[in-house]
Each structure stands twice: as structure tokens, then as C-alpha cells.
A and B are shown apart, each in its own frame.
Chain A
Amino acid sequence: MIDILQQYGMSLLYSDGYRFTGLAVTLWLLISSVVMGGLLAVPMAVGRVSSNKYIRFPIWLYTYVFRGTPLYVQLLVFYSGMYSLEIVRGTDFLNAFFRSGLNCTILALTLNTCAYTTEIFAGAIRAVPHGEIEAANAYGFSRFKLYTCIILPSALRTALPAYSNEVILMLHSTALAFTATVPDVLKIARDINSATYQPFYAFGIAAVIYLCISFVLINLFRLAEKRWLRHVKPQTH
């Protein structure tokens, strides 16, 4: 096990000498997809609860499709599927984009997490107390101000516990990236396995790395909840 760590430690953490690998790539996949998916999800959630059905329905359809199919199938559509299309190969920009496994993975992860996050945020927006919105209307808030000052600050706080679950699940989903030849932690673990035939050590090390990231994320979210959900902290004896 010491040999494995000495030989593959660097590539497990950040680089195999030529490019970024291992933990660095996993974290990059996680952060980029969660940030982009989260930012996209806020306006989508507002549209999801809209009373206009021409806005509501397409967003519902999008979340339904992306939440109803496995991420692996979505990755297959974007990674091996897209590049086989004439249109994609004919267009310079699309050709360059879809040729890279990393881009395809980030796209699939972003769209996937955005769908789940949209539903989480939409649920939180629906849970905003009716009275607060009526009060804002009574004070003459514009629609934009109503959302930015009353609904979103309250809803995003309520969504925090569910959102933390989604981020942990996203970390677990990044393990799929190796199927698109992205050199993340699991790809290195598979390389170790095929080089040493010691699956317990190879995948065990990967499992420990993922476990550590999970614990760090859980603690970060616990701090965030302490900070932003202080007002709803349950009374302790």
C-alpha cells in the first residue's frame, strides 16, 4: 500500500506530470458544475413557480427529463452521442467543444444538477410564507424587488439543507467522469487496479478520498447553516 501511495500519490492528488489529474480534476468538476448549475437554477426556479404556463411547462419538462433518466445515459448522449452528429462535427465551435471529454462531462453534470436544484429551489419558493409576500405587495414592492428582497433570500435559506444533500450527491456523480476519459480520482484508481491487481487498495484509497471530501463538504454546509439559518435553530435544552 505504501508503494502504491508513493508511486501514484501525486497523480491521485493533482498531477501525473503532464496534466491535472485525480483530486484536482474531481474538485474542478464538482465546483464548476455546482456553481453553474446553481446559478442557472435560480431563474429557472422562479420560472418553475410562475403562473404563466408557457414558462412553467418547458421548465417542468426539462427537470422531468433530467431527473427521470440516469446521469450515465445523459453523459452517453452528450459524450458519444453528440459527436456522432453531422451538425456538431460540421460547426467549428461545437466540434471543438464536444471533442473534449471534460467539456461534455461538465455540461452533463451541470444540466443534471441544475434540474435537481431547480426543483429544490422551487419547493423552497413555494414554502415562503404567504403573509410575507402580501406584506411586500402592500408596501408597493415591484415584482423584481419582491423577488430579490423577500422571496429569494428567504427561499435560498430554506433550501440550504436539501441543497447540501444535492451537492454531496453531485460529488458522487463526478465519479462517472472516467467513462468520458476524464482523469479524475476514480480513473487513477482504475489505473492502479489494472497495474497492481489490488482492487481493495486501489478503490479503497479512492473511497477514502471521496469520504474526506464528503466530510469537508458536510462541515462547510453545517457552518453555512449555522450562519444563515440561525433564526430557525431548534431550541436545545
Chain B
Amino acid sequence: MLYGYSQVIIQGTLVTLELAISSVVLAVIIGLIGAGGKLSKSRLISGIFGCYTTLIRGVPDLVLMLLIFYGLQIVLNSITESLGMAQIDIDPLGAGIITLGFIYGAYFTETFRGAFMAVPRGQIEAATAFGFTGAQIFRRILFPAMMRFALPGIGNNWQVILKATALVSLLGLNDVVKATVLAGKGTYQPFYFAIVAGVIYLVFTTVSNGVLLWLERRYTLGVKRADL
């Protein structure tokens, strides 16, 4: 059915999944730090993170990707050169994870910031009154309550990251898009293989839709919803 390219395409699919999952993990970590920074009382810190989210969200992800991919290599080269070390080449997968994580970290920052602000103040005050430490408040009260508000945003961001992984093939990563393009060129059937790539992505988004629905049910267990 895939004219002998099934192995290459499966390999590419795994690379895409690896890229998407690692960059979403990185983006969530950056997002949590960023949300903390943007809500910080220090004007300097909140200003820096404010700049980060505004600049990143105003520039196309593809431009940032090329900027970081080519720019990072030059920065690394000058560092290794001044230290007298051998040149370190960034592999496309690492560059893809770093750039996607860095870009979508800005989107996650906004998601988490909104969610943190939506947690009722009284809950935190109550926890303080009960003598919870800061870390305990975050782990036991703030985080679970925040997740409920953040979930729709997280779901959206995940879907966007999943689709953005297609761009990393332009940096030379052998992901599912690159594999199908190669297969299309090899068999002179680019139309068929482009559709194959589309179907694979569609399967991913459908599955993640299901998982997100389940997660949303899980995190809204204690919330009563008004019947309309």
C-alpha cells in the first residue's frame, strides 16, 4: 500500500511523536516558570517575561525557528571556538525541541497565567491560614485548581504544537512529512503521499481530542455544571 516506504514513514511518525511530546514538556515547564515570572511582584521580572510573550507571539513560528536554528549554531560555534573546543553540531531534533519548546512556552505562559489568576484567592488564604508552606500550597491547592482552568488552553496548545512539528522538516529533520515527501518523490506520487501524511496527522489529532476530553472530565469531577 505504501510502495515499500512503510518502514521510513513509521520511523518518521515516531520522530514526529518524540518531537511533539518532548517539546510540549519543555513548553509546559517554560510556561509554568513564565507564568510565575509574569505574576511576580518585581516589575523587572514581570517586564522581561511580558516582553518574551509579546515578542514571541507576534512573530511567525517558522521565522523564529529559522532564526533560532541558524542563530544558535553560530552562537555555539563562537563559544566553542573561543574555548578552543571542537565544533558541536546541533542536530535537527534537538533544535526542533528547543525552538518549539521556547516558542510555545510563551503561549503556555499566557495559558497558565490566566489559570493561576482564575483560582479564587480565598482558597490560597485558607491554605495559608491552615499553615501550609508555599510549596505545599502550590502542589496541593494551586496546581490542581489551576489545571482545571488551564486544560482547554493546554489542549489547544498541544494541537497547535502537534501541527507545528510539520515545520521542523524544513530544518532537515526526518519526520513524517519529510518521509512522505521523499516517498512521494521516489514513487512519482506526491499527491497520494501528501494525503498519507495528512491522514497520519488527523489520526493523532483525533486521538488527542479523545484524551483531552477524558482529562477534562477527570479534572472537573468536583464541579457542578448548570444544565442549559
Interface residues of A (CB under 8 A from B): 65, 67-74, 76-77, 80-82, 84-85, 171-176, 179, 186, 189-190, 193, 199-200, 203-204, 206-207, 210-211, 214-215
CB < 8 Å neighbour of A85 from B184, B191, B197, B202: B191
Given A77-B195, A203-B70, verify A214-B201 contact (CB < 8 Å): no
Instruction: Identify 12 residue pairs between A and B in the complex whose beta-carbon atoms are under 8 Å apart, listed by A's number.
Output: A68-B201, A70-B164, A70-B166, A72-B177, A76-B181, A77-B198, A80-B181, A171-B60, A199-B66, A200-B74, A210-B60, A214-B59
CB < 8 Å neighbour of A175 from B62, B192, B198: B62
**Main secondary structure on chain B at its contact with chain A?**
helix
Chain B nearest CB: distance from A83 CB in Å? 8
CB < 8 Å neighbour of A81 from B55, B166, B170, B190: B190
Confirm or deny: B76 has a beta carbon within 8 angstroms of a beta carbon on chain A: no
Taking A193-B66, A203-B63, A210-B63 as given, write out 6 further A-B residue pairs in contact, using a Cβ cutoff of 8 Å, ordered by the A residue number: A65-B202, A81-B192, A186-B63, A200-B67, A214-B58, A215-B58
How many residue-residue contacts, CB under 8 A, span A and B? Answer: 112
A206–B61 alpha-carbon span in the complex (Å): 12
Confirm or deny: B189 has a beta carbon within 8 angstroms of a beta carbon on chain A: yes
* B62 contacts A176, C-beta separation under 8 Å: yes
Contacting residues, chain A, for B202 (C-beta < 8 A): 65, 68-69
CB < 8 Å neighbour of A69 from B167, B184, B190, B198: B198
Residue of A nearest to B164 (CB): A70
Residue of B nearest to A199 (CB): B70
Chain B nearest CB: distance from A61 CB in Å? 11
- Which residues 187-213 of B have a CB within 8 angstroms of A? 188-192, 194-195, 197-198, 201-202, 205-206
Contacting residues, chain A, for B70 (C-beta < 8 A): 193, 199, 203
Chain B nearest CB: distance from A210 CB in Å? 5
Chain A nearest CB: distance from B174 CB in Å? 15
Residue of B nearest to A197 (CB): B74
Contacting residues, chain A, for B64 (C-beta < 8 A): 207
Chain B nearest CB: distance from A177 CB in Å? 10
A81–B185 alpha-carbon span in the complex (Å): 10
Contacting residues, chain A, for B184 (C-beta < 8 A): 80-81, 84
* B163 contacts A71, C-beta separation under 8 Å: yes
Chain A nearest CB: distance from B42 CB in Å? 26
Contacting residues, chain B, for A179 (C-beta < 8 A): 170
* B66 contacts A203, C-beta separation under 8 Å: yes
Confirm or deny: B186 has a beta carbon within 8 angstroms of a beta carbon on chain A: no
Given A69-B163, A80-B184, A189-B63, verify A200-B58 contact (CB < 8 Å): no
Contacting residues, chain B, for A214 (C-beta < 8 A): 58-59
CB < 8 Å neighbour of A203 from B55, B67, B167, B188: B67
* A175 contacts B67, C-beta separation under 8 Å: no
* B67 contacts A204, C-beta separation under 8 Å: yes
Confirm or deny: B71 has a beta carbon within 8 angstroms of a beta carbon on chain A: yes
Chain A nearest CB: distance from B148 CB in Å? 21
Contacting residues, chain A, for B60 (C-beta < 8 A): 171-175, 186, 210
A81–B191 alpha-carbon span in the complex (Å): 4
A214–B194 alpha-carbon span in the complex (Å): 31
* B201 contacts A77, C-beta separation under 8 Å: no
A76–B166 alpha-carbon span in the complex (Å): 11
* B191 contacts A211, C-beta separation under 8 Å: no
A154–B75 alpha-carbon span in the complex (Å): 52
A176–B168 alpha-carbon span in the complex (Å): 12
Chain B nearest CB: distance from A125 CB in Å? 16
Q: Find the residue from B55, B58, B190, B195 having the highest chain A CB count within 10 A.
A: B58
Contacting residues, chain A, for B205 (C-beta < 8 A): 67-69
Chain A nearest CB: distance from B98 CB in Å? 15
CB < 8 Å neighbour of A68 from B58, B165, B189, B206: B206
* A73 contacts B197, C-beta separation under 8 Å: yes
* A80 contacts B163, C-beta separation under 8 Å: no
A44–B66 alpha-carbon span in the complex (Å): 36
Q: Find the residue from B166, B170, B206 having the highest chain A CB count within 10 A.
A: B166
* B194 contacts A81, C-beta separation under 8 Å: yes
